[in-house]
Structure 1
């Protein structure tokens, strides 16, 4: 579903490779966790996948569609929620969701049904007619997640999605992610909450200084460890 081939990104200010010739293949029906210390290259990689940053070298495809050769077709298949969503503060929540629905050309009946469903799940119905500027950080995160889910993307790409969510909403998001993949869709997400990654991910990739230093299932990652360790212990062992 998602393929990165020899992808590299260098920032010209210091000539340091933020992402250094990485290769990844993510399958349909997979929850993939992308982990790494601060500054390891996670967000840079994600921004290249969704078309916000152009790689210096390499190729990124979504379901065989080149993200840079055919950006509109690629983006029809995906949704992206950044770690700090920038929303239109002067719009009401419902206006924003309808704006996103218009972009993805979601039919009215389907749009209403999906919006109602996710407003209930994330308990945002009472504030949906308020302006986004009045929302807390957690409420903005919920609205961004709802907007990413209403067109039922083939691949959901999330950068630190649990930040700002209350425990119930975080639990519901994990359920949604798992349910999506059970239906043959794909989730690619970064997180610092290693317990979450350990519980819900089919495979995990760990990036450090722009390089993938570990990749596999929990069983495969443990195989390269000296003992039956948790993901947290494996992560610290590899990155320190």
Structure 2
């Protein structure tokens, strides 16, 4: 199967002011977020990717555009509604400080698998659609480009956390243990036996090794030698 570089959108004014934006239209990257997206674009552009697949929301489209701008020949851009933000229903647009006093808040923190947002979707459905979208897209891109294909998914914090939880074999009730910062990069390699979570929530670091990583195989017993590194200067 392939390797997916999962990028969260850069910071927005809603993030900075503690508002749960959800699917509110018109939420754009702020100045910090645009710079974060630019830096992430520099990191990702060293890797030839088959496609950039993005949530339809503006903040993800802006982040995806910052990635595509770094390529001389831009990869295919695909918009996938199943990578959209969680439908928070009546929680959307409200301050997080206010939501923390809601009776549902402790369940969101401790047992998200039991959460259905009033007027919105369940967190279990959110994970199901997101994981299905990632795995479906990975299989389609592998069929088109061959084993070892590398591609990018641009999405939202809770969506990415739910995908990483699935790849790690964690129950959704444990997904709040995973942090995913704005414009961070996480990497999952899908293999025939299991997913391999290569990185989570990274904000720096060279990704050039992905050029020749090849398809995921069996896990090395004992941990293996790690990624190839450049020879030391002499």
TM-score in terms of structure 1 length: 0.31
Q: Which has the higher strand share?
A: 1
